[in-house]
Amino acid sequence: MAPRLVFGAGGVGTTENSFTFTWDTPEKVADLLRELRALGITHLDSAASYPPNNPWNTETLLGQSGELQDSSSAFTVDTKVLVQRVNTNVAQGVPFLAPAAIASSLDKSLRLLNRESVHTFYAHANDGVTPFAEQAAAFDREVKAGRCAQYGLSNYSVTALRAFFAACEEHGYTKPAVYQGMYNALQRKAEEELLPLLRQHSCAFYAYSPLAGGFLTGKVTAARDSQDKDSRLARTRWQGASAYSIYTNTFDKPAMHATIRTLKAACDVVAEGGPALTLQEASLRWLLHHSAISSEHGDGIIFGAKTVDQVHSNVAEMRRGPLPESVRGVVEGMYYEATRKAESL
């Protein structure tokens, strides 16, 4: 079976000059949640730090929607510890994973969400200061107190993750049940060391950025190839005040754009003999049906959207089944081709 689908709530709320601005009232959020429920998507991924540069706004609106109260809600909700940031970067030397900070963050999330507990409570990133044994002890306490069913980690290096598991084993603490990281057709580094380590510790993997922040839709390449890139990339992760360096530095490169053009050509050939196949659909179907993640390990895919129409199209595309072999082969080779070209420069 395919990995579970989880809706990423980072697009709920608004920030000045941000790409998040669609669902900015409780009423709009309630409508979104009802649409998700109708599609059978009832697992939400939230965070204290959402939306970018406006902490707590996402969870405030989710709670005010009236759709998440424990007694009546159909939704499973995950959240993450508040991260101290400087612009979009994690603040250095700030112990935001100290035990008191972990407990305080969950206190506020539960209050805003109108829930007594969440499903998975994540460390959004490693603070680089708090010892892993102290982090693990704090999360272990929250699990045993019933304020979260399990806990997880996100954006830890493989070295840090290995040390975290070792600290849990040494002290007898509950291990993280889920790890959240970037994984898509153009970012498959997780297959090298991360996924084998997670499998060793029976830890599920939830992939975020299945479309590489929109790069795998082809819109960034098309904009770069046109004379209209300023307006076409306005209020996205790719340009201006809303740009995210993790995306621009990783994907906005000649070798990456070349693979997008190759995939588009393959999709166009398929479309000549049948229904249209977009780059987005090819990328999503590869991730769901052909990648290294699966339901066997409890894995999931966290997807987002800017509009309800995008929610519907994303879900429909992922549920269409495996790719034609000709396109699958192209998608399989994209990461390696882009890496090879980048290394040859």
Residue 232's pLDDT band (boundaries 50, 70, 90)?
low
Two tokens, residue 152? 């997880």
Residue-wise pLDDT for 94-148, tens only, equals: 999 999 999 999 999 999 999 999 999 999 999 999 999 999 999 999 999 999 9
Task: Please write down the long-range contacts of 160-163, taking CB distance under 8 Å and 24 or more positions apart.
Answer: 160/126, 160/132, 161/194, 161/197, 162/197, 163/132
Q: Which of 220, 221, 245 is nearest to 233 (CA)?
A: 220
State how far the Cα of 139 lies from the Cα of 150, in Å rounded to an integer: 8
Residue at 132 is within a domain: yes
Given this model, what pLDDT does residue 122 score?
A: 99
Q: What is the residue-averaged pLDDT of the chain?
A: 91
Residue-wise pLDDT for 162-199, tens only, equals: 999 999 999 999 999 999 999 999 999 999 999 999 99
CB 293 within 8 A of CB 198: no
Q: What is the DSSP string of 53-80?
A: TSTTHHHHHHHHTT---TTT---EEEEE
Residue at 265 is within a domain: no
Per the structure, the complete domain to which residue 89 belongs is given by 1-176
Residue 240's pLDDT band (boundaries 50, 70, 90)?
low
State how far the Cα of 45 lies from the Cα of 76, in Å rounded to an integer: 9
pTM here? Answer: 0.93
Q: Which of 110, 47, 52 is nearest to 80 (CA)?
A: 47
CATH of residue 96: 3.20.20.100
Q: Give whole-number Cα distances, 271 to 32, 277, 297, 314, in Å.
A: 31, 6, 34, 18
Residue 17's pLDDT band (boundaries 50, 70, 90)?
low
- Polymer length of the chain: 345
Reply yes or no on whether 244 is catalytic: no
Residue at 64 is within a domain: yes
Phi, psi of 45 (to 5 degrees): -110, 110
Is the pLDDT higher at 343 or at 282?
282
Residue at 185 is within a domain: no
Residue at 70 is within a domain: yes
